[in-house]
Amino acid sequence: MTEDADADAETAADLAERVREGDLRLYELEEHADAATAAAARRELLAAETAADLDAIGSYTFDAADAEANIENMVGAAQVPMGVVGPVPVDGEAASGDEYLPLATTEGALVASVNRGCAAIRAGGGATARVLKNAMTRAPVFRVRDVGEASEVASWVRANVPALREAAEATTSHGELRDVTPYVVGDNVFLRFAYDTKDAMGMNMATIATEEACDVVEAETPASLVALSGNLCSDKKPAAVNSVEGRGRTVAADVVIPADTVESVLKTTPAAIAEANTRKNLVGSAKAGSLGFNAHAANTVAAAFLATGQDAAQVVEGSNAITTADVREVETEDGTQEALYASITLASLEVGTVGGGTKLPTQAEALDVLGVRGGGDPAGSNADALAEVIATGALAGELSLLGALASSHLASAHEELGR
C-alpha cells in the first residue's frame, strides 16, 4: 500500500493522535482526509482534551466539503432555532405581496414580538418599502508627502474616475464602480470606492476591484498605498460615515395604521407610541451619543442574517437605523380617523443572495421561503427584495416593542412567555 493510500485510510482517531503527537496541525487535516473525517478528528481531539460532549456539534445535514469556503478548522455546526414571521404585505419595488421572514435566534419572545408587529402592519393594509441606495464601499489609505501632494492626488482621482472604473470592473463580470470620493487628512489620502455589487453582498468583490484600481493610482500619482482598507469604508464598526452616506443597501419601510388597529393589536394609542419613540429612540439615543436611533432593530437584522446566511458581523452596520413615529389624520369610510405613521430607515444594510453563507443548505432554504435564492432578474433584484423584507420585519419589531413600552406590557410579556 502506498503512503497516500495509508493516509486515505486514516481514521479520525488516527488523525487526532497525530495532532496530539505534533505530527500534524489542526489546519492540515484536510490534506490527509476528507472534510468530514477531518472535522471528526478535531471533535475527537477536543473531546479528549476538554471532556466536552460534541455529539450535537457533530450532527449537521450538509456535506462538510461544501463549507470549506466558509470556515477553517471545522468541527461541526452551530444550530440556532429558527422561526418565521408573517405573512406581512410588502409593497416594494423588488418585493411585492405577502412575505414570510425566517428568523434564527436564541432570544425568547423576539419572533413573537416581530410577529405581533407584522399583524399590526397587516391589519393596517401593509407596509411600503424601498431600497433608496445601493453602494458597497472599500476605502484604501495612501501616503503622500504633504497636503499639497494630497490635493494633487485628490484632484487627479476626481478627474480620472473613468480610468479607475475600467481597472476595477476588469476584475468582475457583475460589479460596477459608481463613484470614488477622496478624503484628505494631512499626509493621508483616503479614497472611498462605491460599487453596485448586484445580488452579492459584495465585500470581496469590492476589495479585489479596488486593489486593481489602487495600482492605477500608484502608477499615475505620487501616492503610495499603505492599506487596502483604511477604515473609512467602514466595515463591521459603528461609523457616522455609513449613517450619512450609506453602505450596502440603504432601505426604508413605513406604514400607516388606524388608531383602532393600534389599540386592538398593540394595546395602546398612536399618540403614546409617537411619544415613546420621540423620548426613547430620538432623545434618549441622542443623549447616549448613539449612531442608531431605534428601539431594537439589531434584533430583527441579526436574526434575519443568521437565517439567510449573511455576514453576522455586519449587523453592526445593519442596525444603523432611525425609527420615526407620529400621529396623522386619515380618511376612512367612517370619516376622518386618527392613525399612526411609523417608519424605519436602515442606512447600511449589507445583504446578498449569492455567495458566502447563502450557499449553505439551511440558509438557502430560508432564502427559498422568501423566493430570493441566487441571482435575480434583473441582477440585484433578489438582494433588493431581501433588503425590503428585512426592513419591513425590523419595522414590525419596532412597532411591537414601542407598543409594549407605551402600554407598560414589556416585562409582563417576557414573564408570560417564560423568557
> Where in the sequence numbering do the catalytic residues fall?
107, 311, 414
Burial of 59 (0-12, 13-18, 19+ CB in 10 A): exposed
Q: By the 8 A CB rule, do 402 and 113 touch?
A: no
Return the bridge partners of 258, or none: 339
Q: Which three cell numbers stand for residue 333?
A: 369610510
Closest CA to 311 of 204, 157, 220: 204
Please answer whether residues 417 and 109 qualify as being in contact, where contact means their C-beta atoms are separated by less than 8 angstroms.
yes
Q: For residues 201 and 245, what is the distance between their CA atoms, to the nearest angstrom?
A: 17
Residue pair 400/114 in contact by the 8 Å Cβ criterion? yes
Q: Where are the beta strands (DSSP E) in 60-169?
A: 82-92, 96-104, 127-138, 141-143
Instruction: Give 3-state DSSP helix, strand, coil % of the chain, rounded to 5.
Output: 45, 25, 30
Closest C-alpha among 35, 93, 16 to residue 391: 93
> Pick from 320, 259, 258: which is nearest to 126 by CA?
258
Rg (C-alpha) for the chain, rounded Å, is 25
Residue matched to cell numbers 470549506: 68
Q: 87 phi and psi, to 5 degrees?
A: -70, 150
The C-alpha angle with vertex 234 and arms to 229 and 238, in degrees rounded to 5, equals 140
- Which cell numbers hold the place of 158? 476626481
